[in-house]
Amino acid sequence: MTTTQNKIALVTGGSRGLGKEMALELAKRGQDVIITYYSKKEEAEQVAKEIEALGRKAAVLSLNTGKVESFDEFVQSVSATLKSKFSTDHFDYLVNNAGSGYVIPSFADTTEAQFDELMNVHFKGVFFLTQKLLPFLNDGGGIVNVSSGLTRTTFAGSGAYGSMKSAIETLTRYLAFELGGRGIRANIVAPGIVPTDFSGGRLRNNPNLQEHIKSITALKRLAQPDDIAGVVAFLCSDDSKWVTAQRIEASGGLHL
């Protein structure tokens, strides 16, 4: 009797926040998941246990997405894990979610060190990690790059971060164009502001800011991580098989 290989997604930054919810939602919809973490190993392992409790396979790998020189070693780990844990040498969906942010008052206050770190994590890292993983991505699979509502709206101090995400949106269209011959789709999910620990929990810990965000959001509430995860899971499925080179903003109608 022939068994069908389960679909496998690789989610960077899957130990907490949006990445955790993405990984769990993908598992709920029947996919096996590889998640990466930077510093929260125990949290990543807990996410893997939750995935396995849903009846899916899971693996946890360490990755610094801002350190391109570490990618060859990471790719070796991916290859070994695919063989040992999933009995295959390819996966189906890459979700470039890992990220970091700063609370910066203004453009004038942005330092070169902050700019470089944001570039390395949010643009250069995504560019070359995707390049390194292409040989392991199944034809007919997909890439989801996580951008930001800040490529459309503006908030003081977010100029560098928003610019990196704009670069990723341009790159995604090129990926869609160049990889389309392999049936690989590439799309953007652009979340609005979500009250997680991103940027030091800036929104989560500020009730006044929360009320302001709700007041300028069409749906009049704050986002929850699963609001974003469902969109990512849709793009990592055959339901979106004719969707590529698209930017889907999941912001509840922020700042319309």
pLDDT tens-digit series, residues 70-119: 999 999 999 999 999 999 999 999 999 999 888 899 999 999 999 999 99
Inter-CA distances, 104 with 73, 111, 170, Å: 33, 9, 25
CATH superfamily of 8-250: NAD(P)-binding Rossmann-like Domain (3.40.50.720)
E strand spans, the chain: 8-11, 32-37, 58-62, 91-96, 137-146, 185-191, 247-250
For residue range 213-247, list pLDDT tens digits in order: 999 999 999 999 999 999 999 999 999 999 999 99
Q: Is the pLDDT of residue 3 over 70?
A: no
Q: Is 92 exposed, middle or buried (0-12, 13-18, 19+ CB in 10 A)?
A: buried
- Domain ranges for the chain: 8-250
Give the active site residue among 38, 93, 102, 161.
Answer: 161
Q: Is 96 exposed, middle or buried (0-12, 13-18, 19+ CB in 10 A)?
A: buried
pLDDT of residue 127: 98
CA–CA separation, 154 and 118 (whole Å): 17
Q: Is 9 exposed, middle or buried (0-12, 13-18, 19+ CB in 10 A)?
A: buried
For residue range 171-187, list pLDDT tens digits in order: 999 999 999 999 999 99
Q: Is 188 helix (H, G, I), strand (E, B) or coil?
A: strand
- The model's confidence at residue 1, banded by pLDDT at 50, 70 and 90, is very low
Strand-pair category, 32-37 with 58-62? parallel
Q: Is 93 a catalytic residue?
A: no
